[in-house]
Amino acid sequence: MKFDVVIIGSGLAGLSVALHLAENHQVAVVTKRHLLDGASNWAQGGIAAVLDSGDSYAQHIDDTLVAGAGLCDETATRNIVEHGREAIEWLIAQGVPFTRDGSAELGYHLTREGGHSQRRIIHAADATGHAVQVTLEEKVRKHPNITLLENHYAIDLITSDKLEQKSPSPQCVGLYVQDAASGRVITIAAGHTVLATGGAGKVYLYTTNPDTATGDGIAMAWRAGCRVANMEFIQFHPTCLYHPYAKSFLISEAIRGEGGLLKLPPEAGAAAGLRFMPEHDARAELAPRDVVARAIDFEMKKRGLDYVHLDISHQSPEFLQEHFPTIYARCMELGIDISKEPIPVVPAVHFTCGGVVTDLHGSTDLAGLYAVGETAYTGLHGANRLASNSLLECVVLGRAAALEIGRTPRAVHPALPQWDESRVTDADEEVVISHNWDELRRFMWNYVGIVRTNKRLNRAQHRISLLKEEIDEYYANFRITSDLVELRNLVEVASLIVNSALLRRESRGLHYSRDYPYTLPKALPSVLSPERR
């Protein structure tokens, strides 16, 4: 198969690239499952952008820099923030049904979330990601120049140094993908390849991410020779619903933006009902996510709790159903009436702030390869992502990458080597994969969580080394499966997270170390290069 551009991933970043390029390019979108199965579809809160005269670029930039704990790239931050309104106008032009407000300047309701000094979050009730994705999905499915390869797993990139006729400098020339239904491996030649595979939340035991978030793009880029940065900064969302029958259900930050209070549950004994955030930060419930997540983690460990309470019951049922219909309905299904009682919540892995190093056009270290969205490291998120900046980055950088690809001469497709299964057999025991997957996610949760120590990190590093040996041997000897592909990528990403964390000898943003509790005067990113492995 041959295309001008192949995009791996079908979230907001990937679909933005596809729609911007499809008029003049033959585009393929490769996605593990269906188009709506990524993290973008799950996003509740909204998209941050300067849309009101009472707000300014300077304030949005400053809020981002403060949340990023001194580690944001100011040039990248300014570029993305200043293209925010343009990004929102493009989405509105596509038909995204943002929540309206007749009294507002633009005619759309803006809410406020933790870390923001102004109301600047445009949203579609409390299911913004779904509204955006459904709108773009319809356009992508109808476009004659876009080929959809759903239920196809990207296995690895093909680089020119692996070809018989090697080019003077390495470049990405295509990739191998597996058809999940038949198991057949397909070779795809591409003039440009875009990694838009999202984050790596599934490397941890508890996450708000969908099952597709296995760090595939980051792992593939690393194996292809690209630098990776700031992987130690894993954002734990403070408020994931704690319930035995609700997997990974996120309680939006906007609940706290609209007055929700964090309190101790009855299991806290005499302290039950105590609002604890003012003791941890002057901004209380509106502090950035890392501060809130650490405060909840502290209270849970101090008091032996499994969860804490988020209480917005002072708001009327009508207000809650209007502003948070998805959360209200889901909680009601589970027997929780949020207009009368608090919501049990617990922190969970939510966002990967680091990723594949790119410029502001999505270009990576490897010619012909781009990365956008959560897969990429642009410098915007620093040591902690400001709420609702991620979808903004997806649209802005998606368009920028498409423009860069459009300016680049079309590549001549070389002859690519086919996938060779002549020396492998069917796996004899699939239990090896499921056991290693479970072990990895558990020790990452226990050793590389919200609070870290060198001892725990070194333990994790040792376990990862053993797992990698097992998985590499398995990969070399048996036919691949989707579970094996994902496990191989997760172990690679786990190694990058731990190695980055060991490099950082301070506490900053989302990385908190008991061995280095203080913040160094100069903030530097943690950049890993494959040559130094």
CB 129 within 8 A of CB 142: no
CB 103 within 8 A of CB 109: no
pLDDT for position 515:
97
Distance CA 324, CA 320 (A): 5
The chain-wide mean pLDDT, for the chain, equals: 93
pLDDT for position 428:
67
The answer to whether residue 87 scores a pLDDT higher than 50 is: yes
Burial class (CB in 10 A: 0-12, 13-18, 19+), 143: middle
All structural domains of the chain: 237-349 (3.90.700.10), 431-516 (1.20.58.100)
Annotated catalytic residue 463:
no
The answer to whether residue 494 scores a pLDDT higher than 60 is: yes
Average of per-residue pLDDT across 321-328 = 93
Q: 130-141 burial, b for 16+ CB within 10 Å, e for fewer?
A: bbbbbbbbeebe
| 263 backbone dihedrals φ, ψ, rounded to 5° | -135, 160
CB 376 within 8 A of CB 362: yes
Distance CA 352, CA 439 (A): 21
The answer to whether residue 173 scores a pLDDT higher than 50 is: yes
Q: Which amino acid is at 152?
A: H
Residue 152 pairs with which residues in a beta bridge?
Answer: 179
pLDDT single digits (tens) 291-314: 898 899 889 888 989 899 999 999
Residue 363 pairs with which residues in a beta bridge?
Answer: 370
The answer to whether residue 533 scores a pLDDT higher than 60 is: no
pLDDT for position 18:
98
pLDDT for position 506:
97
pLDDT for position 532:
43
Cα dihedral sign for 462, 467, 470, 472? negative
pTM score, whole prediction:
0.89
Q: What is the DSSP letter of 6?
A: E
DSSP 3-state assignment of 464? helix
Distance CA 131, CA 29 (A): 20
CB 300 within 8 A of CB 398: no
How many alpha carbons fall within 13 Å on the CB side of residue 22? Answer: 20
Distance of CA 489 to the CA centre of its chain: 15
Q: Which residue has the tokens 């460990």?
A: 301
Q: Which one is predicted more confidently, 265 or 477?
A: 265
Average of per-residue pLDDT across 31-51 = 88
Share of the chain above pLDDT 90, in %: 77
pLDDT for position 402:
98
Average of per-residue pLDDT across 18-26 = 96
pLDDT for position 429:
67
pLDDT single digits (tens) 337-353: 999 999 999 999 999 99
pLDDT for position 168:
73
pLDDT single digits (tens) 244-266: 888 778 898 889 999 999 999 99
- Strands 185-195, 2-8: pairing is parallel
Neighbours of 206 (CB within 10 A): 17
Catalytic entry in 112, 289, 456, 508:
289
Q: Which amino acid is at 318?
A: E
Q: Which secondary structure element, helix H or strand E, spans residue 177, and what is its range?
A: strand 172-179
Q: Which secondary structure element, helix H or strand E, spans residue 170, and what is its range?
A: none
pLDDT single digits (tens) 422-467: 777 777 667 888 899 999 998 998 899 998 999 999 999 999 999 9
pLDDT single digits (tens) 362-416: 999 999 999 999 999 999 999 999 989 999 999 999 999 999 999 988 776 778 8
